[in-house]
Amino acid sequence: MEFVYKGLRADYARHLVTEEEVDRQLERLRQQTPQVQEITDRPAQNGDTLELDYAGFCGGEQFDGGTAQNQSLTLGSGAFIPGFEEQLVGSRPGDRVTVKVTFPTPYHAEQLAGKEAEFRCTVHRITRQLPWELGDEFARAVGSRDLADLRGQLRQSLQSYADERGELELQDRLLRQAAATLEFRPEQRQVEAALDERMETLRSQLARQGLTLEMYGQFTGKTQEELREDERPEAEQLLRLQAAVDRISQLEHLEATEREIADALAEISRRNHLTMEQLQAAYDEEFAAAVERSVRTRKAMALVRRFAQVEEA
């Protein structure tokens, strides 16, 4: 079979952002960006955020880790040990409040577990978060001229995202078309390694939802062996796609330059909220090979797209 990666055909239907999508994004932004109102005409109540200093004492001695300045605490959040927040309800800015609590058992600081303590608190400021009304004032608070300008910015951002995602999906479809023409049969060890990687990815995804692979198996009624077998078709497809990228790279002399690798590392750092120093700590030969492969994959996909015949709608 001849390997075909140029002159492929595909349809591409561009998604145009609707006003309803803009409305939903605007509402999400409104919920994520409350206005902060300072409270001066009443005492603190649940839902208020206090800015306070505190110092913790146990048996009359101040203990390590129990002192903070300008700490923010939302009453009713349950962020502090039981009984702490309730005793600050009714306080006002400038008040000094002695909060008496008993540390739970067990407690992460074993020397405090089950012991009585007091925190000497000074309240500096009380604020409350309130939702904005949708209008020009809200738009200006988030950096736009008015509501119409904000809607325009959100529409443009959503459309750019939709276009980028649509283009990547198109390139992926084209690369899969090309890979289907490649004579390729992976070795068993390659498949098993790819399955290991797929299962590790599944474990990570489940962990972000507070689940384990065992729990997921119970929910789906499948054993871990059956879950692993479910991943086999995609694992084999990914190996085929990698082989296609390698073949295109060989035929077209595609390489990952130092600048492209540096840009890829900067993007990984940005997406994962890491500094380059933190990323370098995890940078080994396997990581380097994965980054180099991702750069070549993007270049191969772009090349296949450039030589494809795409009907756009």
For the stretch 115-138, pLDDT in tens is: 999 999 999 999 999 999 999 999
Mean pLDDT (whole number) for 142-153: 96
Check residue 102 and give its pLDDT: 93
Give the helix ranges, DSSP H, for 13-146: 19-32, 136-141
Check residue 217 and give its pLDDT: 87
pLDDT per residue as tens digits for the range 251-300: 999 999 999 999 999 999 998 888 888 888 888 888 899 999 999 999 99
Three-state secondary-structure class, residue 111: helix
Choice between 53 and 105, residue whose per-residue pLDDT is larger = 53
Give the helix ranges, DSSP H, for the chain: 19-32, 136-141, 147-180, 188-208, 213-220, 224-230, 232-252, 258-271, 276-281, 285-306
Residues 281, 229 contacting (CB under 8 angstroms) = no
pLDDT at 180 over 90: yes
For residues 184 and 136, what is the distance between their CA atoms, to the nearest angstrom? 59
Between the two ends of the chain, the Cα-to-Cα distance in Å is 32
pLDDT at 143 over 80: yes
Check residue 109 and give its pLDDT: 81
Task: Give the helix/strand (H/E) hosting 127.
Answer: strand 116-130
Distances (CA, A) of 200 to 136, 226, 273: 48, 15, 22
pLDDT at 78 over 80: yes
List CB contacts of 220: < 8 A, sequence separation 6 or more.
227
For residues 73 and 47, what is the distance between their CA atoms, to the nearest angstrom? 10
Give residue 18's identity as a one-letter amino acid code: T
pLDDT at 176 over 90: yes
For residues 52 and 94, what is the distance between their CA atoms, to the nearest angstrom? 9
pLDDT per residue as tens digits for the range 206-247: 998 888 889 888 888 999 899 999 999 999 999 999 999 999
Check residue 281 and give its pLDDT: 82
Check residue 87 and give its pLDDT: 96
Smallest CA-to-CA distance from 81 within 89, 73, 69 is with 73
For residues 138 and 132, what is the distance between their CA atoms, to the nearest angstrom? 6
For residues 252 and 260, what is the distance between their CA atoms, to the nearest angstrom? 17
Indicate the burial class of 194 (C-beta count within 10 angstroms; 0-12, 13-18, 19 or more): buried
Smallest CA-to-CA distance from 95 within 71, 73, 68, 122 is with 122
Check residue 279 and give its pLDDT: 83
Q: Are strands 116-130 and 35-38 parallel, antiparallel or unpaired?
A: antiparallel
Mean pLDDT (whole number) for 63-87: 93
Q: The tokens of 91 are what?
A: 């306080």
Check residue 107 and give its pLDDT: 83
pLDDT per residue as tens digits for the range 15-64: 999 999 999 999 999 999 999 999 999 999 999 999 999 999 998 899 98
For residues 276 and 261, what is the distance between their CA atoms, to the nearest angstrom? 13
Check residue 183 and give its pLDDT: 93
